Amino acid sequence: MIWKQEFTLEGINQISQNTLVDHLGIEFTGFGDDYLEATMPVDHRTVQPARLLHGGASAALAETIGSVASYMCIPDISTHMAVGVEINANHLRAVQAGTLTATATPVHRGRTTHVWQVTITDEAGRRVCVSRCTLALVNARERG
């Protein structure tokens, strides 16, 4: 198992209240030994004016799940935190409605950086977006 922090899905969802995560309707729904899963609705909060899923909403979902996954892999959260430094997202399929599922799996978990592969699928299991998120592990007291 890759997780260094004890956590529950209820706990993650609770600390996400009153944040962008909450506003977009992102909910953490599952995890295993080496993955974290979350869902996000395709609705008025996550679509562009043409009523298609907004690419930025997909990127926000990917960054959210990658960041939380990194946080849960940090051995000592009293001294270190994970911050996003790069994200890319390839948008593969248009979506107008429904619920997306994002799954984050580690590509690299080093001493100073983590890289996560995030796959976002629609309700039929079709890939909507693939993303890679890089996070830096920084001293928690040096927040800028």
* Residue 76 located in a structural domain: yes
Q: Which of 63, 86, 123, 142 is catalytic?
A: 63
* Residue 2 located in a structural domain: no
The model's pTM is 0.95
pLDDT tens, residue by residue, 8-53: 999 999 999 999 999 999 999 999 999 999 999 999 999 999 999 9
* Residue 1 located in a structural domain: no
For residue 126, give the CATH number of its domain.
3.10.129.10
Give 11-17's long-range contacts (Cβ < 8 A, gap of 24+).
Answer: 12/68
* Residue 4 located in a structural domain: no
118 exposure class (CB count in 10 Å sphere: 0-12, 13-18, 19+): buried
d(CA 92, CA 41): 17
Number of domains in the chain: 1
Predicted pLDDT at 104: 98
Predicted pLDDT at 142: 66
Q: Is 86 a catalytic residue?
A: no
Range of the domain at 37: 9-142
pLDDT tens, residue by residue, 65-122: 999 999 999 999 999 999 999 999 999 999 999 999 999 999 999 999 999 999 999 9
* Residue 29 located in a structural domain: yes
